[in-house]
Amino acid sequence: MANVLADLGARPILNAPALGPRLAGLLSPDVRVPLSGSLAKPGRVAQAKKDDRPEPVHFVFQFRKGEEILSGRDRFVVPQDNRFIASYDPINTRLQSSWNFDRYCLENISDFQGALITGFHLLPLPGYREVLREKMDQLISWKKRNADLFIHLELGSFQSPEILSFLLDLIPRLPIDSLGMNEDELAGAAEILGLSSAINPPGSWQERIFAARCLQDKTGIFRVAVHTRDYIFSIIKEGIISAQDELSALNSGVDAAASLAAFGSPRAGPSH
């Protein structure tokens, strides 16, 4: 996400508590990471890494509809296009942020326009309440220092519905402006709300909009956005963003995703 934002002209500042040379090499040179009170390129931060903790590794397995997987005598048939991510990421399962990142944010948060928060889906059951409360206190402190900071929270596939339920209960008391998810994550939230029958696959877009509206009502959040395999939609209240600006943003997102898939860059196009 940081790479895409940088490619689109933004100036992303990344929390990278275990940044080593391999991960740094995958990051855009326009991404910045706080280091000793200032911003540095990822490679410089990786060189300054003093501990010997291994870098996080995420294995992404992409499956196509109808693909067969054999495991011993068992045979599994993939019902729809999807992916499975196997992670070795002990730091992010605790949602750690680097001291340099926390310090830089406290001193410069008034200069930020937005914050993109994700990774809560990595939390394991033991101790998740304490970790979530600590991170939510950090978001509250940012908003107090910068009331105009737009905070977007991106969900994921949670390890337990209990963690997602706790998070949804927290959101109404937090300064989060926007909530994003895919159709599977919407289904998980809808099940917690008692709406699972409304959006079981295949699920029409009308049913998914109904579930997203209910989620918006429950959380009181300004914006709920859902990106599916076939389309994206968002539900917004009047206030922070106009309907015209939101539609323009969604169109830009679709164009960037299509360009990335077809040409390898969100800013590329047929002429490139």
Q: Where are the domains of the chain?
A: 112-241
SS3 at position 153? strand
Q: Would you say 169 and 219 are in contact if contact means Cβ atoms under 8 Å apart?
A: no
pLDDT, one tens digit per residue, over 32-70 is 999 998 999 999 998 887 767 777 888 888 888 899 988
CB of 19 closer than 8 Å to CB of 49 = yes
Q: How confident is the model at residue 162 (pLDDT cuts 50, 70, 90)?
A: very high
Structure tokens at 232: 């994206």
Looking at the domain that runs over 112-241, which CATH code has it been given?
3.40.1190.20
Residue-wise pLDDT for 113-141, tens only, equals 999 998 888 888 998 999 999 999 999 99
Tell me what percent of the residues of the chain surpass a pLDDT of 90: 46
- 109 phi, psi to nearest 5 deg: -60, -25
State which H helix or E strand residue 248 sits in.
helix 243-263
Max Cα distance, the chain (Å): 59
CA pair distance 162, 72, nearest whole angstrom: 32
Please report which confidence band the pLDDT of residue 239 belongs to, taking 50, 70 and 90 as the band edges: confident
Cα(39)–Cα(61) distance, integer angstroms:
34
Residue 270 confidence (pLDDT)? 54
Q: Distance of CA 51 to CAs 46, 55, 110, 261, Å?
A: 11, 11, 31, 37
CA–CA distance, 1 with 26 (Å, rounded to integer): 12
Q: How far apart are CA 263 and CA 260, in angstroms?
A: 5
**Position 260 pLDDT exceeds 90:** no
Task: Tell me the whole-structure pTM to 2 decimals.
Answer: 0.85
Work out whether strand 68-71 and strand 33-35 pair parallel, antiparallel, or are unpaired. Answer: unpaired
